[in-house]
Chain A
Amino acid sequence: MSLLVFLILFLAGLGLVAALLRRLPWLAGAIVAAALGWLVVWLWRLPSQETADILGRVVFLEQTNSLLGFTFQVTPLARSPILLMLAAGAIFALVAGLLWVERSFIPAIPLLLATLILFLTAQPLLYAPFWLILVAVIMGVIAQGNEPRPARAALRTLLAPILAFPFFLFAAWVFSQSAIAAEDPKLWSSAWRAMLAGMLILTSPVPLHGWIVALGDAATPFAGAFLVSVWQIAIYAFLRHLLFAYPTITEFVDPGVWLPWIAVVQMLWAGAFMFGSQRLGQLWGYLLLWMFGAAFLAWGLTGELGSEAIFWLFMVSPLALTLAAAGLQSIFHRFGENPEYGKLHGVTERLPLSSLGFLAGGLFMLGWPLGALFPMRLATYQVAEFRAGNIFLWAMLALALGVVGLIRAARHLAAPVQDAGLQRESRLAAWTIGLLLLAGGVIALNPGLLNAISAQMLVWFNMFG
């Protein structure tokens, strides 16, 4: 059995078990979190030899599998993003299980991770976005959840991979013709532009960012945060792999120039709409977009040297995301999905830790001190100030708009109670939020705690097979 087959079977089985236990979400969440956590540790400790023993079976670590013309292999390069996504899945499953989210969410986590693993291990590289369409379909199902609700988020999730796929197919065909560069230079450069267009679409630039905002508006907070988080890890790994596999693309356009601009436009757009938000879900959607842009800004500005820091960022961001999502989930329980600001009364009084969780989580996502993301955001702003003054100024404006947007939300959350029967938050939710705050604070004060892990991930990530 190959490592890939083991991972897929394990995750599919885990999803099935979680689906059977879906009416006991705390148990399903605990089982999924424990199993994914074990998988992360096991993968991390995998020996460098050719085989490993698991449950009495021999797993061949370098064995390849073929399906539908694709070759799949869990290379060291794929191992790092897989580890990050499994760890994010474990954190989300645990926190979501404690807070009684929709019962379809936890069983879907392993299934989505399985399809993401297929995408990250597929070769030829330019055909791999086919699997990204399967990923997007499952993401759409998770976004939709098991409640009748507008399908806006789910539909928009399908957009980027389906729009981008033909561009990669066209580029793959041209690159497979060995003599075409000399025979038809125009077609040759068109193929590079097509590949670039595909890459740009996958980064969800404005105005193709709508799926992220719709996730905030029309999906549960945990679903939105998880989907944006794993999508960004997968796209980062795929784009970086493409840039290394096809370095000629830098002759057409320099990613070090376009990536920061795409990112800062996303952040500005998000900041402006956070500032003008009228609903809590809307604010959450733009907050996710802001964070999405900030991660690409960190990558674009720091280039390859920043990869270790990017891994650190991806490792830590689930903490800030789950903190804000937990607070928001608790508020949604009392006020319904995506409530208008005007209908929020007595939130800080009756749901103090949930309000704190959402607001602090939001501020931490923007890079506020004492949050887990503070060191990385500070480093990004410093690099921006040093290397690109324009981008630094725009990023500061986006940050200011985002902060004001959260302050506006805080003002509405602090409105006095109108309904005397409004229930207080559950003790479990309060404890969960408290522990997440503590965990984020510990990492903010000791950012070096995770350095060894991110350094090892970078070593794997730079091993091209």
Chain B
Amino acid sequence: MPTLDQFLTLTQRLNNPALIAPSVLLVAAMLVLSDWRWALLAFAGVKVLAGVLFLQLMPPEWALQQWVTGGLVAIMWFMAARRVDVIRRKQTGAPWWKPEWRLNPSTLLRLAFVILFLTVIYTVRPYIPFPKLPADLARYATFLAASGLVALGLGDRPMRWGFGLSLWLLAASFGIHALQTNVDTVGMMAGVELLLGFAISYFIVVDGARFWPRPEEA
């Protein structure tokens, strides 16, 4: 078991612009996948990689707060979505292990839209010159902001909106933390993320409850 110092040294060694590519793929997976478990896993992956990329901007113990807030938010959303799912499966008699990959027109449309979006991003390479932010991270932050807005346009389900707003905040975090990394700003951004996490987890439950065949039994 590595000590905390060893762990932080290890994460600094991982810090590499090459992490941006898998992060882009994970963001695309978040936007497309209809099964909330896979989408949530992709979200957790994006937060882990973003935490490592933040090492370029701030000390490791602050950069890794992305892991802490991202982890807490992912846990909240997991528990909320699982509650909705478990009760629905119990009431409909569906086994818990059966995956719910729906290759319906909505998923296909999302897939087509995200492919188009990635193609545009790849060819146009949009870039907002955030002050003091290295060029590769600025391009990544621009991609995250655009992905967040795209996610908001892909439907009115709570978790997808949570992903969209969370990506927007992540992009903003890169821009803001390149300028200032004091405890107030880091805490404020983490606070906003957690507030969003609380709100979305509540909405996941109340929105999902309408799909229960017998909501009164829950």
Contacts and interface: CB of A to CB of B under 8 A. Distances in A.
B192 A130 contact: yes
Interface footprint category on B: 20 to 34
A243 interface: no
Contact of B156 (A127, A137, A148, A151): A151
A137 B175 contact: no
B165 interface: yes
B188 interface: yes
Given A148-B210, A154-B203, A162 B169 contact: yes
Contact of B191 (A130, A150, A187): A130
Contacts of A149: 206-207, 210
Nearest to B204: A151
Nearest to B188: A130
A69 interface: yes
B168 A68 contact: no
A352 B187 CA distance: 55
A40 to B, nearest CB: 29
A162 B184 contact: no
Contact of A144 (B156, B188, B203): B203
Contact of A165 (B152, B192, B207): B192
Contact of B215 (A148, A159, A165): A148
Interface in A112-146: 127, 130, 133-134, 137, 140-141, 144
B195 interface: yes
Contacts of A130: 188, 191-192
A141 B192 contact: no
B176 A166 contact: yes
A173 B210 contact: no
A220 to B, nearest CB: 14
A152 interface: yes
A69 B184 contact: yes
Interface footprint category on A: 20 to 34
A170 B207 contact: no
A33 B86 CA distance: 41
B146 interface: no
A187 B175 CA distance: 13
A170 B203 CA distance: 30
A357 to B, nearest CB: 29
A68 B188 contact: yes
A148 B172 contact: no
B103 interface: no
Among B157, B191, B207, which residue has the most Cβ atoms of chain A within 10 A?
A: B207
B139 to A, nearest CB: 17
B179 A137 contact: no
A24 interface: no
B20 interface: no
Interface string B178-218: 01100011011001100110110011001111101001000
Given A130-B192, A166-B172, A169-B172, A68 B187 contact: yes
Contact of A148 (B152, B175, B209): B209
B165 A162 contact: yes
Contacts of B45: none
Contacts of A155: 156, 158, 161, 203
B192 A162 contact: yes
Interface in A306-343: none
A134 B195 contact: yes
A356 B129 CA distance: 56
Contacts of A154: 199, 203
A133 B166 CA distance: 13
A458 to B, nearest CB: 33
B131 interface: yes
Given A68-B184, A137-B198, A169-B185, A151 B158 contact: yes
B156 A150 contact: yes
B207 A151 contact: yes
Contacts of A134: 195
A84 to B, nearest CB: 26
Among A133, A137, A152, A169, which residue has the most Cβ atoms of chain B within 10 A?
A: A169
Contacts of B191: 68, 130
Interface string B134-176: 0000000000000000001000111001000100110010011
A151 B206 contact: yes
A187 B129 CA distance: 10
A444 interface: no
A282 to B, nearest CB: 15
A158 interface: yes
B192 A133 contact: yes
A126 B202 CA distance: 29
A78 B133 CA distance: 37
B172 A150 contact: no
A150 B185 CA distance: 34
Contacts of B187: 68-69
A153 B137 CA distance: 34
Nearest to B84: A148
Contacts of B209: 148
Interface of A: 68-69, 127, 130, 133-134, 137, 140-141, 144, 148-152, 154-155, 158-159, 162-163, 165-166, 169-170, 173, 184, 187, 190
16 contacts: A68-B188, A68-B191, A69-B187, A130-B188, A133-B192, A133-B195, A137-B196, A140-B199, A148-B212, A149-B207, A151-B206, A155-B158, A155-B203, A162-B165, A166-B175, A169-B172
Interface of B: 131, 152, 156-158, 161, 165, 168-169, 172, 175-176, 179-180, 184-185, 187-188, 191-192, 195-196, 198-199, 202-203, 206-210, 212, 215
Given A144-B207, A154-B199, A187-B131, 13 more contacts: A68-B184, A148-B206, A151-B206, A152-B156, A158-B199, A159-B165, A162-B169, A162-B192, A162-B196, A165-B192, A169-B176, A169-B188, A170-B175
